[in-house]
Amino acid sequence: VGEDAHVMLNGFGTVVNSLGKRAANYLPQVCGTIKWRLNNKSAKIRQQAADLIARIAPVMKACEQEQLLGHLGVVLYEYLGEEYPEVLGSILGALKSIVNVIGMTKMTPPIKELLPRLTPVLKNRHEKVQENCIDLVGRIADRGASFVPAREWMRICFELLDMLKAHKKAIRRATVNTFGYIAKAIGPQDVLVTLLNNLKVQERQNRVCTTVAIAIVAETCAPFTVLPALMNEYRTPELNVQNGVLKALSFMFEYIGEMGK
């Protein structure tokens, strides 16, 4: 199950996508096989099964197989305890594809149950897991934030601070954008307090990402919601904090453009 498996996955995904609506009659059988393979003792086969769901989800939607998509969503949800990070990353990628095509309101399990299960997954330091998890959390924060209580979003904010240390730029970028979505959903105050506290950390990259996140919150929620807190924080007699505030202001005026005049 090496390079051949990848070729098979690409080939099968391409065939199903090319068939489009004509694939409808075959989808129940394909999904039955996928479910069976998700339970295989080989990690590579489980990963391949999850990757295949991600490839064929748009076709399933086109064939009006939303019930089957919902069922696969529940099956994948039950596998979020997967111990192999490569497989877990693929499971998150498959869930992301299902959420993308089925939408927030029709998703099963419901978003309010799915998100709390993702919070502990954010602690995983594996890049593939981090990237797919933050993409999924960001998508929910952007389009389905109202399904989740503010308290849960604050728990996620604390977990996201650690992801600002990620080596991969795409993960850091997705994380700062997610802070913006969360602030838009629950209001900027609590999110801002979390971010301003993070300006005190020693690690420079972490502080820079934090200033970008503050600027994105300002852009999303309007600058007047952020400026008083920033000016107040500037009085802290700590060089890192003062530099961070100035950087955040600089990014903020860059992002809001014409609005700043």
Residues 169-189 have pLDDT tens digits of: 999 999 999 999 999 999 999
Q: Among residues 169, 145, 147, which one has the least CA distance to residue 157?
A: 145
pLDDT computed for residue 17 by the predictor? 75
Domain segments of the chain: what residues?
Answer: 154-261
- Which amino acid, residue 37? R
Q: For residue 128, give every residue at least 6 positions away whose Cβ sits within 8 Å of its Cβ, in sequence order, or none.
A: 85, 86, 89, 90
Chain centroid offset of residue 16 CA: 27
Q: How far apart are CA 116 and CA 112, in angstroms?
A: 7
Q: For residue 142, give every residue at least 6 positions away whose Cβ sits within 8 Å of its Cβ, in sequence order, or none.
A: 181
DSSP 228: H
Sign of CA pseudo-dihedral 53, 9, 131, 138 = negative
**Residue 21 confidence class, pLDDT cut points 50, 70, 90:** confident
pTM of the model: 0.88
pLDDT computed for residue 143 by the predictor? 94
Q: How far apart are CA 24 and CA 62, in angstroms?
A: 9
Residue 2 has pLDDT above 80, yes or no: no
Instruction: Tell me the fold of 154-261.
Output: Leucine-rich Repeat Variant (1.25.10)
Mean pLDDT of 60-88: 94
Residue 211 has pLDDT above 70, yes or no: yes
Give the tokens for residue 94.
Answer: 């498959």
Low-confidence winner among 9-13, 57-61, 66-70, 120-124 (lowest mean pLDDT): 9-13
**Residue 261 confidence class, pLDDT cut points 50, 70, 90:** low
Residue 209 has pLDDT above 90, yes or no: yes
Residue 1 has pLDDT above 60, yes or no: no
Could you tell me the CA-to-CA distances from 168 to 77, 78, 94, 122, 200 in Å, in that order? 26, 28, 21, 15, 22
The runs of H, that is alpha helices, within the chain are: 3-19, 27-38, 43-62, 66-78, 85-102, 111-121, 127-143, 150-163, 169-186, 188-197, 204-221, 227-233, 239-256
Mean pLDDT of 61-72: 92
**Residue 260 confidence class, pLDDT cut points 50, 70, 90:** low
**Residue 3 confidence class, pLDDT cut points 50, 70, 90:** low
